Amino acid sequence: MNEGALKVVVDEELCKQCELCVSICPVHVLQISSRINSKGFHPVEIFDNDKCISCGYCAMTCPERAIAVYKPEVERA
Amino acid sequence: MKVVYERPKTLEKVVNHYCPGCHHGILHALIAEVLDEMNLADKAVAVAPVGCAVLAYNYLDIDWIEAPHGRAVAIATGIKLAHPDLLVFTYQGDGDAASIGLAETMYGAIRGMNVTTFMYNNAIYGMTGGQMAPTTLIGMKTTTSPYGRDPKREGYPVKMAETIALQGGTAFSARSSLYNPRAITDTKKYIRHAFELQMAKAGYTFLEVVGTCPTNWGMTPVEASEFAKNELAKFYQLGVLKDVEGSEQK
Ligand SMILES: Cc1ncc(C[n+]2csc(CCOP(=O)(O)OP(=O)(O)O)c2C)c(N)n1
Ligand code: SF4
Ligand code: SF4
Ligand code: SF4
Ligand SMILES: [Mg+2]
């Protein structure tokens, strides 16, 4: 029932567009968005939620702790 | 959805002043995570340095005291003697702990003070605009070694974790880094172990954390992480140098 829910939630105001998370993601599903936050940075976004393996690497690498990561309770068949 | 990672409670929800991609933020967060997991935030008193981490007291929701440049371990010593049951740690740069504050840091180890030091080693004076630090690598260009550090002129880089490990009062000395999830996991493990040893009154605990300064290194954050891995961590080898609880390693 949570199939559509995002596995990676970015607090866009905290993001400084450093791209460490983008470079560390093992399945390459993060990118810099075209939005802009109040400090002038383009926050990161997930562009392929299905491919994300909820490993948490992006969150633990983020110096701003701008990322929360979630894992679906039941894997899709 | 199961939570894999959420921001630790003890990490204040504010935008910090660090440059984009600076590893200081990762080290702050790991300390907050361990304080939360060990339920120690209410017992913790930290000492902030002079250096880029001078405003650290705005970021961790615990008690802090701001030390004059280099004097963090001396102040931590005073706090610990007055309140032996509190968790007391210093958060310092390499310039703060290994240059102007070398005597204070050494005497924490020599006296076996029950406090913990985190020394963020980015091989440079970050706050003041990128001058050479005692930890600057041979050949590394800084504003005060513009042709690269030459040991004939500027001496050799100091290896703090090894030096601290040699002192009798040291319970734990290790070096770790933050350039990838594996290194970050090891750093967190060492933070926890240092706090456990301090609470068991085992002696001085010291963790040198090889970090970055993308701004003064003139690199992007991703390039700086690579430099930390390929250059800094090669000279400053990662691992446990002394652990009174385990066998002493190289
Ligand atoms: C007594 C004194 N001497 C010198 C300074 C100037 N100063 C401020 S921060 C700093 C060094 C900072 O480098 P480091 O400790 O490595 O921290 P970083 O900013 O790299 O994290 C110096 C020399 C000072 N503030 N006070
Ligand atoms: S949780 Fe892992 S797979 Fe998903 S975006 Fe983050 S790093 Fe990539
Ligand atoms: S690591 Fe954090 S601050 Fe850096 S780009 Fe990713 S979300 Fe933004
Ligand atoms: S100057 Fe260097 S150490 Fe200081 S916040 Fe910026 S990147 Fe980090
Ligand atoms: Mg420094």
Q: What is the residue type of B73? A: V
B249 or A11: which carries more pLDDT confidence? Answer: A11
Nearest CA in chain B to A14: B15
Does B246 have pLDDT greater than 90?
Answer: no
Does A2 have pLDDT greater than 70?
Answer: no
The stretches of chain B forming alpha helices (DSSP H) are 24-37, 72-82, 94-95, 102-110, 151-154, 160-165, 181-199, 214-217, 221-227, 233-235
Residue entry with tokens 């630790």? B8
**How would residue B132 be classed by pLDDT, with cut points 50, 70 and 90?**
very high
pLDDT, tens only, B41-90: 999 999 999 999 999 999 999 999 999 999 999 999 999 999 999 999 99
Does A4 have pLDDT greater than 90?
Answer: no
- Would you state the pLDDT for residue A1? 40
Query: What's the rounded Cα separation, in Å, for the pair B177 and B225?
Result: 10
Q: What percent of chain B has pLDDT over 70?
A: 98
Mean pLDDT score across all residues of chain B = 97
Test A63 with B185 for CB contact under 8 angstroms: no
Sequence-separated (6 or more) residues with CB below 8 Å from residue B153: none
Test A56 with B8 for CB contact under 8 angstroms: no
The stretch B174-185 carries a mean pLDDT of 98
Residues of A in contact with B25 (CB under 8 A): 62-65
Token pair for residue B54? 């001078």
**Alpha carbon B3 to chain centroid, angstroms:** 29
User: What is residue B99's DSSP assignment?
Assistant: I
User: What residues pair up with A10 in beta bridges, in sequence order?
Assistant: A67
A77 or B65: which carries more pLDDT confidence? Answer: B65
Structural domains for chain B: 24-243 (3.40.50.970)
Q: What is the residue type of B9? A: K
Measured from the CB, is residue B104 less than 6 Å from ligand 1? no
Q: What is the pTM of this model?
A: 0.97
- Would you state the pLDDT for residue A75? 60
Query: What's the rounded Cα separation, in Å, for the pair A64 and B15?
Result: 7
User: What is residue B13's DSSP assignment?
Assistant: S
**How would residue A76 be classed by pLDDT, with cut points 50, 70 and 90?**
low
Query: Among the CATH numbers 1.10.760.10, 3.10.450.50, 3.30.70.20, 3.40.390.10, which is that of A8-69?
Result: 3.30.70.20
- Would you state the pLDDT for residue B250? 44
Does B248 have pLDDT greater than 60?
Answer: no
Query: What's the rounded Cα separation, in Å, for the pair B184 and A36?
Result: 29
